[in-house]
Chains A and B, each alone.
Chain A
Amino acid sequence: MTLISATLGHAAPYNFAYLDEQTKRMIRRAILKAIAIPGYQVPFASREMPMPYGWGTGGVQVTAAIIGPSDVLKVIDQGSDDTTNAVSIRKFFEKTAGVAVTTSTSAASIIQTRHRIPEETLKSGQVLVYQVPIPEPLRFLEPRETETRKMHALSEYGLMHVKLYEDIARHGHIAKTYAYPTMVGGRYLMDPSPTPKFDNPKMHRSAALQLFGAGREKRIYAVPPHTEVVSLDFDDHPFEVNKFDKPCALCAAEGVYLDEVILDDRGGRMFVCSDTDHCETRRADGHRGELLGSPIEQKEATHVA
């Protein structure tokens, strides 16, 4: 955040959403191409942004290219609106585009994310912008880019299954828990990196438009609304999302992604929603987890209210 303010200065004359119009048009063309070829990595001329690579410069450029004055922006990092990275990107767009910001998933028209997809089902008209560090799912299997391009062109993805085979041979199951490979629209292999595989099913046939920006790697790719996103697996080792033993300690939500929180230095810990907005909304609606009171108290509380 200090970095951004330092670079921008206070009265810096920058264009709406920081990037100049020509650059935004170039990025929009890449986005349109990405939407037209779901899952295909479109090269684009990534610009220097007033933040280092690894801070979501790809996502920021995509957001800058699509955002308009009437948009409402939400930014999350690991599911939380309050982390340094999320706060600084939100401030960046408040300052450079003067747009309204929110932490509410349902109120946002654009959600920029690193790691998570909100628990609340996204609606038609919403855009989810992912910050992607490594867009190429075959990178660690085949380092030659000429070769990975050919593999994409010919839809030759046997090697990805070799990787999953190796996982099962070594660990008895597919050990990949994030950046879990998917097939988009039955055609392109896509790395949803670095989202946990827990969120993969949310990508499948989502009503929202999903855009992926990789700044350092200069790639943009997209999953248009209602597109098939299938996680790779074997017939006898089907894809499964991680399960959590307990509901959220704060809001009692089940079937959501939980983070472990250390409570004290005596081994005390709890599991709470990683999606902070989801957790707060549920608590505001009267849901109470283990840590905030028993289910009976919860019932009484709701009656009183």
Chain B
Amino acid sequence: MSPETMSADDQPLLVARGVTKRYGPHIGCIDVNFELFPGEVLAIVGESGSGKSTLLSVLSTRLDPTAGSVGYRMRDGVMRNVFDLNEAERRLLMRTDWGFVHQDAREGLRMGISAGGNVGERLMAVGARHYGEIRSTALDWLNRVEIDQTRIDDAPKTFSGGMRQRLQIARNLVTNPRLIFMDEPTGGLDVSVQARLLDLLRGLVADLGLAVVIVTHDLAVARLLSHRIMVMRHGRVIETGLTDQVLDDPREPYTQLLVSSVLQV
């Protein structure tokens, strides 16, 4: 969260207030509050079932909250509660100014459509009608995510896990979004593939000044990518702060346990 990575206005991009989601009697997440600034990377960590994915789904409007609001500063500078947007506005936001990188690439890609078509879809959705330009933009993005350009006409079902994740990222970034949600983007990949993906992500996030909310239970991922960290337990945020601070000097006993167990691995 260094000042130079922020955009000119130092107003928050995303504001969560009292975000609560219940699944009937079960708790998803409770009373989550935070602000995310332009260019800032926030990691949400916690054990399985602590409510990370639930929170991410509510923030990205994939789930309606039981209570609370999520404010987003639109491109015109106006802060809107995303749950007050109409369906058309919300869907436009999701495919232009936002991105979502899923753990399972099959949820984030069209597996039967070529890599070029996957990257080009958002462009076409917002009115691009020049095949040659769509294709050269797609080629450029394949290059940026280190996918061999000769694979442009191949479907992602022929890609490795790491390639699929990189393609998912390209597909999301092609419309120059300002905010990306990621749910365990490196989960399920083997270590060397993970490292390469993290490197790539770190570079892109810095180059493009992206704001990111990333869910992970891997503290090493949080350490490498995020400026700030939120630790969740039983649906609540129990500790939050600058990443290095929280990981090097955790205050909550639970976080201490989490950090030490990671260090043992």
Counting CB contacts under 8 A, is A262 at the interface?
Answer: no
For A159, A162, A166, A236, the residue with the greatest tally of chain B CB atoms inside 10 Å of its CB is A162
B87 touches A234 (CB 8 A): no
Residues of chain B with a CB closer than 8 A to A169's CB: 114, 116-117, 135, 152-153
CB–CB B129/A150 < 8 A? no
The reply to whether B117 and A166 form a contact with Cβ atoms under 8 Å apart is: yes
Q: Is B120 an interface residue (CB 8 A)?
A: yes
Residues B118-154 near A (CB distance < 8 A): 120-122, 124-126, 129-132, 134-135, 152-153
Judged by a CB distance under 8 angstroms, whether B91 is at the interface is: yes
Q: Does B88 reach chain A (CB closer than 8 Å)?
A: yes
Question: Chain B: interface residue count, which band?
Answer: 20 to 34
Chain B positions within 8 Å of A156 at CB level: 91, 125
Is the pair A165, B125 in contact by a Cβ cutoff of 8 Å?
no
With a cutoff of 8 Å between Cβ atoms, the chain A residues found around residue B135 in the complex are: 169
Given contacts A154-B88, A154-B91, contact A165 B122 (CB under 8 A): no
Find out whether the CB atom of B126 lies under 8 angstroms from the CB atom of A236.
no
Nearest chain A CB to B60's CB is how many angstroms away? 17
Kindly state the separation between the CA atoms of A156 and B91 in the bound complex, as whole angstroms: 9
Contact call B130/A162, Cβ cutoff below 8 A? no
Q: Is the interface of A mostly helix, strand, loop or mixed?
A: helix
B27 adjacent to chain A (CB < 8 Å): no
Any chain B CB within 8 A of the CB of A69?
A: no
Are A162 and B113 within 8 A (Cβ)? yes
Whether A161 sits at the interface, judged by CB under 8 Å, is yes
Give complex CA distance A289, B153 in Å: 45
Residues of B whose CB lies within 8 Å of any CB of A are 87-88, 91, 110, 113-114, 116-117, 120-122, 124-126, 129-132, 134-135, 152-153
19 inter-chain pairs at a CB distance below 8 angstroms, sorted by A residue, are A153-B87, A154-B87, A154-B88, A158-B121, A158-B124, A159-B124, A161-B124, A162-B113, A162-B117, A162-B124, A165-B131, A166-B114, A168-B131, A169-B117, A169-B152, A234-B131, A235-B130, A236-B131, A237-B131
